[in-house]
Amino acid sequence: MRHKRTYADRREYLIKAVAKRRKVIKEKAIEYLGGKCSFCGYARSYAALDFHHIDEKSKSFGLSQRGLTRSWERTKKELDKCVLVCANCHRELHVGLLQLSAEMLKRKSGEFREAPLRWGNPEPSLA
C-alpha cells in the first residue's frame, strides 16, 4: 500500500524549503554587500552579520523579518539602502558609539559604485 502524503508532511516540507531559501538569500545578500563588516572587517560567521539601513525612513521592509520571502531583485533594491555590519558594530551604531563615515555614505549614494557589466559587444561596430 502506498503512503499517502498528509498536510503535516507538506507543512514540514514547506518550512524546510523556506528556511533553505532564506539562508541562500542571506548568503547572496552578504556577498552583495562585500562579505564583511563595514567597520571592523568581521567575516567569520554569516549569522553575526546584519544589514543596517542608512536612513530608516527609506526602509521598505526589514531584511531579517522571519518568514518573509521576497525576490532577489526586490531584496537587492533594499540592500542598496544598507551597509553590512557585524552584530557588535550594529548595536554600537544604534546607541551612537559609531557613525557612518562620509565615504560609506558616498559609496551608497552611487558615487563609488561600479557600472553594471554589459553583455555583448561593449564597443561600437566600425562597419
Range of the domain at 78: 8-109
Bridge partners of 52, per DSSP, are 83
In a domain, 119, yes or no: no
In a domain, 1, yes or no: no
Contacts of 78 (CB under 8 A, 6+ apart): 59, 60, 61, 63
Residue 104 pLDDT: 76
Contact 80, 108 (CB under 8 A): yes
Rounded mean pLDDT, 50-76: 76
Alpha carbon distance 31, 46 (integer Å):
10
Residue 8 pLDDT: 78
In a domain, 75, yes or no: yes
Contact 86, 49 (CB under 8 A): yes
In a domain, 115, yes or no: no
Grid coordinates in use for 120?
555583448
Using one digit for the tens of pLDDT, what is the confidence trace for 7-55? 778 899 998 998 898 888 889 999 999 999 999 999 999 999 999 988 7
One DSSP character per residue, 20-61 reads: HHHHHHHHHHHHHTTSS-TTT---S-GGGEEEEES-GGG--S
Tally of domains in the chain: 1
In a domain, 104, yes or no: yes
Confidence of residue 70 (pLDDT cuts 50, 70, 90): confident
